[in-house]
């Protein structure tokens, strides 16, 4: 415990010296969330950080999130305390495979989920997040849409709109661990609880939910009056924030196995090391950044 206290003090001291902010995604380890200046979903973090006068962002999340910060704030130094913290779903599409598919589907609007590399964003027309995907798709009037990389988010959106969508066969291995049986069993145990799931879950899980929300939406939903018990169908790290912000309410993970191993690579030791060494830095090359920013900006005006 003493070790942790000392470690935290060193991080906070160095953070001040470096004029840095610490950004933590909702899936981060509890101790990392607790030292962060902002805890949020994949887009909120970069947007909040952009409003500060910090020169350095220590991004406690996965690689595509740090890239999003670099796309939106090129003048900042963006540190990712462990370069191995990538998103396996984002890695399911590359520029090569995307260019090939675009060749097969001429005249198609490419919509990419924010869980994608900067290079893939640069090859896409518009971005979306779990929070605004339906709105983004509905804003398009072109006939044919290629949605990538998450087939399950894409499928969920397609049930909410009448747009024709071709879905990339990507998926999140962590959300795949949540099975419909988990929900049915927990509903029996907690008949009063609301079931809230992330749109990356399989359709059979989504069909059993009361609400389908991104992580930012889940955190807001949990604060509502009248919500006292919630079955949470997403990565288990979010339970820390939900409990901290809503004392007296009960949060039950849909599956204890829904752990994203890459998110858990970021630890307090690595945050300190990253601030000491000012590395590893995520910097999107300007040529790619400018093209990727068009896709992100197109989303932000929807």
Using CB under 6 A, list all residues that contact ligand SF4: 62, 87-89, 115, 172-175, 200, 235, 260, 262-263
Q: Choose among ligand SF4, ligand 13P, none what residue 80 binds, the Cβ cut-off being 5 to 8 Å by kind.
A: none
Q: Which is nearer to ligand SF4, 224 or 261 (CB)?
A: 261
Of residues 40 and 81, the one with the C-beta less far from ligand 13P: 40
Question: What does 22 bind: ligand 13P, ligand SF4, none (CB cut-off 5 to 8 Å by kind)?
Answer: none
Query: Residue 111 or 140: which CB sits closer to ligand SF4?
Result: 111
Q: Specify whether the CB–CB gap between 232 and 219 falls below 8 A.
A: no
Measured from the CB of residue 1, what is the shortest distance to ligand 13P in angstroms?
A: 30
Binding partner selected for residue 42 from ligand SF4, ligand 13P, none, CB under the kind-specific 5 to 8 Å limit: ligand 13P
Could you tell me the smallest distance in angstroms from the CB atom of residue 209 to ligand SF4? 17
d(CA 33, CA 269): 14
Contact of residue 230 among ligand 13P, ligand SF4, none (CB under 5-8 Å per partner type): none
> What are the tokens at 18?
């470096």
Q: Which is nearer to ligand 13P, 212 or 272 (CB)?
A: 212
Residue 251 is given by DSSP the state E
- Of residues 76 and 175, the one with the C-beta less far from ligand SF4: 175
Find which of ligand 13P, ligand SF4, none residue 88 binds, CB within 5 to 8 Å per kind: ligand SF4
In sequence order, which ranges of 123-195 are alpha helices (DSSP H)?
A: 133-138, 151-160, 180-189
Measured CA to CA, the distance from residue 168 to residue 247 in angstroms comes to 40
Q: How far is the CB of 87 from ligand 13P (least distance, A)?
A: 6
Measured from the Cβ of residue 178, the count of other Cβ atoms closer than 10 Å reads 26
Task: Name which of 108 and 234 has its Cβ closer to ligand SF4.
Answer: 234
Partner from ligand 13P, ligand SF4, none binding residue 236, C-beta < 5-8 Å depending on class: none
Smallest gap from residue 56 Cβ to ligand SF4 (A): 23
Closer to ligand 13P at the Cβ: 175 or 270? 175
Task: Name the 3-class secondary structure at 224.
Answer: coil
The values of phi and psi at residue 192, to 5°, are -85, -15
Q: What distances in angstroms separate CA 19 from CA 42, 77, 82, 263, one per listed residue? A: 22, 11, 20, 24
Residue 124's binding partner among ligand SF4, ligand 13P, none (Cβ under 5 to 8 angstroms by kind) is none
Q: Residues in the site for ligand 13P, rule: CB under 6 A? A: 26, 41-42, 115, 129-130, 172, 200, 214-215
Separation between Cα atoms, residue 100 and residue 104, nearest integer Å: 7
Query: How far is C-alpha 184 from the geometric centre of its chain's CA atoms?
Result: 26
The alpha carbon of 168 is separated from its chain's Cα centroid by a whole number of angstroms, namely 18
Number of other residues whose CB lies within 10 A of the CB of residue 68: 29
Label residue 213 exposed, middle or buried (CB < 10 Å: 0-12, 13-18, 19+).
buried
Measured CA to CA, the distance from residue 208 to residue 223 in angstroms comes to: 22
Residue 183 near which of ligand SF4, ligand 13P, none (CB within 5-8 Å, type-dependent): none
Q: How far is the CB of 106 from ligand 13P (least distance, A)?
A: 31
Could you give the dihedral angle defined by the CA atoms of residues 127, 100, 108 and 47, in that order, rounded to the nearest 10 degrees? Answer: 10
Which lies closer to ligand 13P via its Cβ, residue 153 or residue 272?
Answer: 153
């Amino acid at each position: 415990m003493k070790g942790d206290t000392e470690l935290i003090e060193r991080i906070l001291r160095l953070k001040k010296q470096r004029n840095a902010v610490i950004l933590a995604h909702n899936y981060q380890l509890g101790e990392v969330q607790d030292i962060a200046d902002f805890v949020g979903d994949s887009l909120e973090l970069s947007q909040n950080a952009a409003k500060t006068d910090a020169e350095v962002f220590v991004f406690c999340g996965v690689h595509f999130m740090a890239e999003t910060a670099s796309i939106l704030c090129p003048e900042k130094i963006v540190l990712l305390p462990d370069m191995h913290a990538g998103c396996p779903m984002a890695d399911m599409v590359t520029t090569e495979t995307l260019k090939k598919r675009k060749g097969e589907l001429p005249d198609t609007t490419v919509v990419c989920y924010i869980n994608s590399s900067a290079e893939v964003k640069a090859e896409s027309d518009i971005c979306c997040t779990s929070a605004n995907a339906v709105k983004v798709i509905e804003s398009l009037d072109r006939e044919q849409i290629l949605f990538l990389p998450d087939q399950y988010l894409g499928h969920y959106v397609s049930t909410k709109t009448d747009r024709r969508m071709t879905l990339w066969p990507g998926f999140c291995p962590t959300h795949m661990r949540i099975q419909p049986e988990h929900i049915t069993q927990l509903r029996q145990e907690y008949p009063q609880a609301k079931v809230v799931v992330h749109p990356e879950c399989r359709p059979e899980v989504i069909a059993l939910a009361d609400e389908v929300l991104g992580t930012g939406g889940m955190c807001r939903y949990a604060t509502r009056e009248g919500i006292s018990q919630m079955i949470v169908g997403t990565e288990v790290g979010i339970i820390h924030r939900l409990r901290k912000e809503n004392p007296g309410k009960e949060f039950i993970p849909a599956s204890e196995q829904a752990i994203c191993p890459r998110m858990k690579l970021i630890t307090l030791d690595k945050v300190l090391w990253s601030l000491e060494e000012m590395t590893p830095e995520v910097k999107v090359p300007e040529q790619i950044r400018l093209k990727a920013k068009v896709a992100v900006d197109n989303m932000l005006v929807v």
